[in-house]
Amino acid sequence: MKRWITKGLVLLAISVPSSTEIKAQEVKGITTPSDRRLLRIKTFFRKRVCPAHEYAAEFLIASDKQKLDWRLLPSIALIESSGGKVFSNNNIFGWDSCRHRFPSVIAGIHVVADYLANSPLYRGKSIDEKLKTYNSQPHYRVAVKKVMAQLEGEPISY
């Protein structure tokens, strides 16, 4: 008879929507190909030759689901990983000083969005307060908010 010893082992389960669930959410109108925000994010990242343009819909789906400002996740991704150019562990947000490993970039987007919306460290805070908790360096908040402003005013390329 085999015995399994799990002394000191802690497992953490993270609920991440499957690609089927995500596609179903898109169809339900969380984001559509004509969503101006989607076009702004894609255009913004493409102009900067950033791989994160591939995740534009995911940023919006996660933001809308968690009731976050739609510009926050892509802005953090630009500051932390140059929009997906330099990162490790599928972690384009630099979450936990890049030590946290996500099963995929998409999973990372949804997990970080969930933390920013629901973790006791972030829940109920303004964007400034969330950013101060995320990275306490004063220049960090300024940099992320500057990117957010650029995203807001990004001309749309069809």
Q: What SS3 state is found at 9?
A: coil
Statement: residue 65 has pLDDT above 80: yes
Burial class (CB in 10 A: 0-12, 13-18, 19+), 44: buried
pLDDT band of 157, cuts 50, 70, 90: low
Hey, how many other C-beta atoms are within 10 angstroms of the C-beta on 11?
5
What mean pLDDT do residues 67-80 have?
97
- CA dist 60 and 42 (Å) reads 11
Span 134-149, pLDDT tens digits: 999 999 999 999 999 9
Prediction pTM value = 0.79
Statement: residue 158 has pLDDT above 90: no
Statement: residue 32 has pLDDT above 60: yes
Full set of structural domains in the chain with CATH: 35-152 (1.10.530.10)
Statement: residue 76 has pLDDT above 50: yes
Statement: residue 27 has pLDDT above 80: no
Statement: residue 14 has pLDDT above 80: no
pLDDT band of 31, cuts 50, 70, 90: low
